[in-house]
Structure 1
Amino acid sequence: MRFLLAVFVTAAVVVPLTAAVRPAVPAPEPATLAPLTAATLEEAYTANRANAALASRMAAAHGDRHRAASDRALAAPSRRLLAFDGRGAGRAAEVFGDLAHADRTAVLVPGSDTSLDTYERFHRAAAALHHRLTAKAPPGTRTAVVAWLGYTTPGTVSATAVTPARAEEAAPELRAFLRELRTVSGPKAHVTLLCHSYGSVVCGRAAPRLDVSDIVLLGSPGTGVDTAADLRARARIWAARGGDDWVGSVPHVSADLFGTTVGFGTDPVSPSFGARVFTAGPGGHSDYFTPGSVSLANLTRIVLGETTEVTRA
């Protein structure tokens, strides 16, 4: 029975996803940077854009036009890259807004099937949130958004999509990144962590004692714990799922099979989990940052600290 349950969980999570492309293309080592501070931000942006441009040329010479185009887009003068690594599936951290002076910053953590090859959709989500924050922030409130592709997301047609292994590898990276972010934004800035799909498993592993105001779980298959309190986070815990999100059909269970944990446990939008559940509208798994959506409106309110205005489910 436990084996059949694990197979069902695997099918429910993996089948709806589109397989990611993981090209074995050559790329340079990441740029060598000075310690990140407000004073070194522009230096980091410049160095990482140059590294992305070099990665694009190397990918083009290798014959991978798709990766070359993705890297070239990230190398554009308007892009603000805190980090870039073109090797393998690739990693990047991109800033929208004035990070050094932001009063409120949102950090987006993506889920499965996110790589440099699919980065544009992640970029669109972060840009949509930043646009909404800019439009809705009260006078005098400065905002920024960071798209953090700081880990190798699970392959879609693989066991890693339904096990915590990649999240356990990613959690220390996320903690370190958020500490580094504090050296730029300062101790008074409010940071909100927005965790989508498998990214919510990453955030669940990283949650204990994180210096963030809010953790938001979007379209989450679970976090690996039974309750929000078990995350041992100082932050407020929020959760939402769109009406047409296929994750609602995933069995929210966890089973140990042959020494491996399969599944992520309690549904974060269930009453027993204890999160602050808010409405996300009728959207699907990839629609949480759609301009004009109920979900994006509520995410904006959470980031801005307007928690009494959030429409609760």
Structure 2
Amino acid sequence: MRIRAWRLRRTLLAIGVAAAVVIPVSGAARPQIPAPAPAELGDVTARTLTGAYAANRANATEAAAMAERYGARSRAAALRAMASPARQFLAFDGRGAGRTAEVFGDLATADRVAVLVPGSDTSLESYGRLRGGAVALHDELGPRTAVVAWLGYETPGTVSPAVLTTGRADAAAPALRSFVAGLLGINAHARVSLLCHSYGSVVCASAATGPHGLPVADIAFYGSPGTGVDEAADLHTKARIWAGRGAGDWIADVPHTSADIFGTTVGFGTDPVSGRFGARAFAAGDGGHSDYLKPGSVSLDNLARIVRGEAPEATHA
């Protein structure tokens, strides 16, 4: 039985690599919707935070107008919503698939800050899912907290060769480390936690294993296909490492392994919720892959507990 499972995993991984070789990268041929370069903000501080928000809203307004003239109505509508006076973007780039960092709460005075790192298929057009989760988490956390929805990298497609390797995650890691450093430059006393969903867990792990690590209190992996390391200890971080998975999450059926095939490492290794990985397990309820931040869910409650520095309900799996 073990041999069959091993062969199945190797076959699935081989199919993924073959796809990477055979399927052309069609995205490069797609026309790019025009957008302005990001606003020049410099090092943002607590004093300049309001100005940074205003500059990014102005950039979103300009990007919306350019998208409208181009005929990209869906993108234009999304950008106009982002340009609303009520929105707070610490970073904004309307080019390509888009990169943003939206803040919920008062970042300058928060005692607890949670950074949501999303997984595959997250872009300006699909950003509503990430934003909805951030709003739900901030509502659950309560006062003197802030939540940041960090879309700071080009996420892979769920059905794409890129989602099988650490390439996008490794490219994103320096940006995430720099972003966390910037948060602490705005609010040095805040307790920062990274909440990493799906492929986002690979991004967080790659950032944590860098030369300077990540100065965060907690790293929580949920709905994770693996992290790219075999054990939590391999992350070389002082942060508490957490892992949870909903009973209805299809990611449980993904082969939690890695293999060197045709010179490419495919897959992300040990299942983070397994005892062998060594993370602190938290209960994530019965939800599916997109339900972890659903209001009223066990997973949302436990993720909020982690951010607050409390002990979450342990999993009984």
The question of a shared fold, defined as TM-score above 0.5 by the shorter chain, is answered with: yes
- Distance in 2, matches of 1:7 and 1:61, equals 44
Aligned residues of 1:9 and 1:251 also touching (Cα < 8 A)? no
- How far apart, in 2, do the equivalents of 1:162 and 1:202 lie? 13
Matches within 5 A, 1:91-240: 91-134=99-142, 142-186=144-188, 188-208=189-209, 209-240=213-244
Show the counterpart of 1:14.
Answer: none
Give me the whole-angstrom Cα distance separating, in 1, the residues matched to 2:101 and 2:136.
16
Q: Distance in 2 between matches of 1:124 and 1:269?
A: 25
Q: Return the alpha-carbon distance in structure 1 between the equivalents of residues 258 and 95 of structure 2.
A: 33
Residue 310 of structure 1, CA deviation: 3.0
Letter in 2 for 1:74: M
Q: More displaced, 211-220 or 31-40?
A: 31-40
**CA deviation vs aligned residue, 1:115-164 (integer Å, no higher than 9, x gap):** 11100110000000001111xx6xxxx10000000000012332101110
Structure-2 residue corresponding to 1:48: 56
CA–CA distance in structure 2, aligned partners of residues 44 and 236 of structure 1: 32
For residue 8 of structure 1, report the CA deviation from its aligned partner.
Answer: 6.1
Query: C-alpha offsets along residues 62-103 of structure 1, whole Å, 9 cap, x if unaligned?
Result: 111111111111110000000100000000000000000010
Greater alpha carbon shift after TM alignment, 163-172 vs 253-262: 253-262
Provide the C-alpha distance between the structure 2 equivalents of 1:300 and 1:23, rounded to a whole number of angstroms: 40
Q: Deviations over 1:18-66 (max 9, x none)?
A: xx9x862000000111321000100000000000011111111111111
Residues 117 and 150 in structure 2, CA contact (< 8 A), matched pair in contact too? yes
Given the alignment of the two structures, is residue 74 of structure 1 paired with residue 78 of structure 2, yes or no? no
- Partner SS, residue 37 of structure 1: coil
1:264-283 residue pairs with structure 2 within 5 A?
Answer: 264-283=268-287
Partner Cα separation in structure 1 for residue 17 and residue 65 of structure 2? 38
Contact kept? 1:192, 1:303, Cα under 8 Å: yes
- The SS at the match of 1:202 is helix
Q: Which has the higher contact order (CA 8 A, sep 6+)?
A: 1
Q: Report the CA distance between 1:111 and its aligned residue.
A: 0.3
Match of 1:16 in 2: none
Task: Give the Cα–Cα distance (whole angstroms) in 2 for the partners of residues 145 and 5 of structure 1.
Answer: 37
Q: Which runs of 5+ in 1 are unaligned?
A: 12-19
Amino acid at match of 2:62: L
Preserved CA contact (<8 Å) 2:195 2:220: yes
Q: Secondary structure at the match of 1:194?
A: strand
**Does 1:4 find its partner at 2:33?**
no
- Detail structure 1 runs of 4+ shifted over 2 Å in the superposition: 7-11, 309-313
Cα pair 1:25 1:62 within 8 Å, conserved: yes
State the distance in 2 between where 1:281 and 1:3 align. 31
Residue type at the aligned position of 1:191: V
Q: Paired residues, what number?
A: 296
1:243/1:281 contact within 8 Å kept: yes
1:284 to 284, 288, 293: 288
Q: SS of the counterpart of 2:293?
A: coil
Within the alignment, does 1:242 sit opposite 2:273 as a pair? Answer: no
Match of 2:315 in 1: 312
Contact 2:14-2:261 within 8 A present in 1 as well: no
Change (3 A) 1:58 1:150: same
Aligned residue identity for 1:242: G
The one-letter code sitting in structure 2 at the alignment partner of 1:194 is: L
Give the share of equivalent positions with the same residue, in percent: 63
Confirm whether residue 25 of structure 1 aligns to residue 26 of structure 2.
no
Q: Which runs of 5+ in 2 are unaligned?
A: 1-6, 19-26
CA-based RMSD? 1.7
> What TM-score do the two structures reach when normalised by structure 1?
0.91
Query: When the two structures are superposed, what TM-score results if normalisation uses the length of structure 2?
Result: 0.90
